[in-house]
Amino acid sequence: MTESQIIPAVRNSADVLILGAGPAGLVLGNLLLAAGVDCVVLERATAEQVESRSRAGFLAANTVRVLERHGLAEGLRRHGREHALCEFRTEDGSFRLDYSALGRGERHTVYPQHELVADLLAQYRRAGGQVRFGTEALAVLDAGTDRPRVTTDGPEGPAGWRARYVAGCDGRHGAARRSLPPGSVRRHRHDHGVSWLGLLAEAPPSLDAVGYAVHGRGFAGHMARTPALTRYYLQCERGSSPGALPDERVWEELELRMRAEEHGPLHRGPIVHRAVIDLESDVLEPLRHGSLFLAGDAASLLSPSAAKGANLAVLEAELLAEGLIAQLHRGDPGGLDGYSRRSLEHIWRAQEFSHWMVQLLHRTTHFHDGLRRSRLASLRGSRSLQDWFAEHYVGV
C-alpha cells in the first residue's frame, strides 16, 4: 500500500495546530490568535459537549491574573465568587483556615470550568478563530521534523493536516501522547492507591468552606460549585461502580464522615452526576518532541486532591503561547527551548503539594496514620506551616 493510500491527501494546514478545546487548548488558541498567529483547534467532541462537561471550578489567583492579562476574565469576574476558607474535620477535632490571611494572602475564584471553557470558546470564535468540532486527531506524524502532519477523522471523513508546530492539548488519552515515539519521553507515574466517588448534587453548599473530612470509614470532601450545585467526594474501594449506592445511602455516608451530628446536617438534593476517580498522577519529561509540544493533562495528570489541573493547564498555555509567538514572529527560539523546563518546575511543585494533600486526607497504614494525624496537628497549630499551606494551596 503506497503512502498516499495511507495518508489522505493534505487538505488543511496552519502554522499551529492545537489538538483539544479544553482550558489548555482554548487559552493557547486565544493568545495565538490575539498575536496574529495562524492556528486551528481540532476537537473531537461537539461544541455542546465541550461547553457542558462538568469539571473542576477552583481558579487560583495566578490563573485569574493570566486570564485578566489577556482579556479572558470577563465571565469569571461577573459570575465567579471569591473563596478563601477550608475546614478540616478529623478524629482529633475540626479547624478552619482562612488562607486569604495566610501566605501571600491569595484567594481562589470559584467559577464552573464548563462556563470558563464556554467563555474561552466564545472569545476565540468572536476573534475569528477556527475550531473543527467532531474532528478527532488520530496521529501526529513527523513530529521530529519541522513539517509535522496530523491525520484526523471527522464529518468529511479522513483528512490530513500540515503545520509548523502541533500543540497537544488533548488530555492524557489524546493523540499527542499516543504519537510520541517510544523512548522520546519518560513517563513518571504514581498510583496513590485511593479512589473517590465524585458526586455533583443539585443542592446548595452545606459549608461556607471547602470541607475535608477524614474518618475511619474514609475521606469525604465538600466543594461549592454554584449557589445551587455542590461537589462532593466519597473515598471508595478501587473498582467501585458509580451507581453502587442509592442517593439516600450516599447522603448518609457523607453525613457520617463529615460528622453531621457535631456540625449539622448537609443540604441534600438529587445527585445529578457520578464518576469514580482513581487518584493517579503522572508527568511526562520532556514536554516537547521536535515540533510537538504538550500542555495540560497531556503533559501531566494531577490527582484532584488540590484541584490544580485546570490551573496548570492555563499557566502552560501562556508559556507555550509566548514561546510560539516569539519563534514565529521574531525567530527567537528561547521560549520554546525553555518551555519544557519552565512548565515542569510548576508541574512538580503542584504534584508535590497534591501528593502531600492525598497523604493528609487518607488513612492507610498505622504508621502513615500517625504521620497524618501529626501533620494535621501541625497544620492546626503552626502558623509557618499554615503559611506554607496557603501559598501552595492557592498558588500554581
Least spacing, CB of residue 48 vs ligand APR, in Å:
12
Of 296 and 335, nearer to ligand APR (C-beta) is 296
The angle formed by the CA atoms of residues 319, 108 and 280, to the nearest 5 degrees, is: 65
The C-alpha atoms of residue 225 and residue 157 are separated, in whole angstroms, by 39
Least spacing, CB of residue 58 vs ligand APR, in Å:
9
Least spacing, CB of residue 260 vs ligand APR, in Å:
29
Of 166 and 245, nearer to ligand APR (C-beta) is 166
Cα–Cα separations (whole angstroms), residue 21 to 45, 47, 109, 173, 339 = 9, 9, 22, 14, 20
Inter-residue contact 54 to 31 (CB < 8 Å)? no
Task: Please enumerate in sequence order all residues whose Cβ is within 8 A of that of 219, keeping only pairs 6 or more positions apart, or say none.
Answer: 194, 196, 212, 213, 233, 234, 235, 257, 361, 362
Q: Catalytic residue at 232? A: no
Q: Catalytic residue at 393? A: yes
Cα–Cα separations (whole angstroms), residue 245 to 74, 204, 248, 389 = 40, 21, 8, 34
Q: Taking the CA atoms of the chain, what radius of gyration do you get in angstroms?
A: 22
The C-alpha atoms of residue 375 and residue 389 are separated, in whole angstroms, by 11
Of 169 and 197, nearer to ligand APR (C-beta) is 169
Q: Which of 99, 165, 212, 233 is catalytic?
A: 212
Of 151 and 230, nearer to ligand APR (C-beta) is 151
Of 291 and 305, nearer to ligand APR (C-beta) is 305
Q: Catalytic residue at 366? A: no
Residues that bind ligand APR (CB under 6 A): 19-25, 42-45, 50, 55-56, 113, 136-137, 169-171, 174-175, 296-298, 309-310, 313
The C-alpha atoms of residue 277 and residue 237 are separated, in whole angstroms, by 10
Least spacing, CB of residue 241 vs ligand APR, in Å:
23
Residue with cell 473531537: 44
Q: What does the H/E/C string look like for 220-279? A: EEEEEEECCEEEEEEEECCCCCCCCCCHHHHHHHHHHHCCHHHHCCCCCCCEEEEEEEEE
Q: Which of 23, 70, 83, 112 is catalytic?
A: 83
Q: Which of 70, 222, 289, 308 is catalytic?
A: 308
Cell for 229?
450545585
Inter-residue contact 305 to 354 (CB < 8 Å)? yes
Residue with cell 464518576: 275
Least spacing, CB of residue 251 vs ligand APR, in Å:
25
Least spacing, CB of residue 175 vs ligand APR, in Å:
4
Least spacing, CB of residue 168 vs ligand APR, in Å:
9
Closest CA to 321 of 300, 297, 342, 347: 342
Q: Catalytic residue at 83? A: yes
Of 45 and 377, nearer to ligand APR (C-beta) is 45
Q: Which of 112, 289, 304, 362 is catalytic?
A: 304
Of 86 and 294, nearer to ligand APR (C-beta) is 294
Kindly compute the dihedral angle of the four CA atoms of residues 66, 67, 69, 71, in this order, to the nearest 10 degrees: 170
Catalytic residues: 83, 212, 304, 308, 393
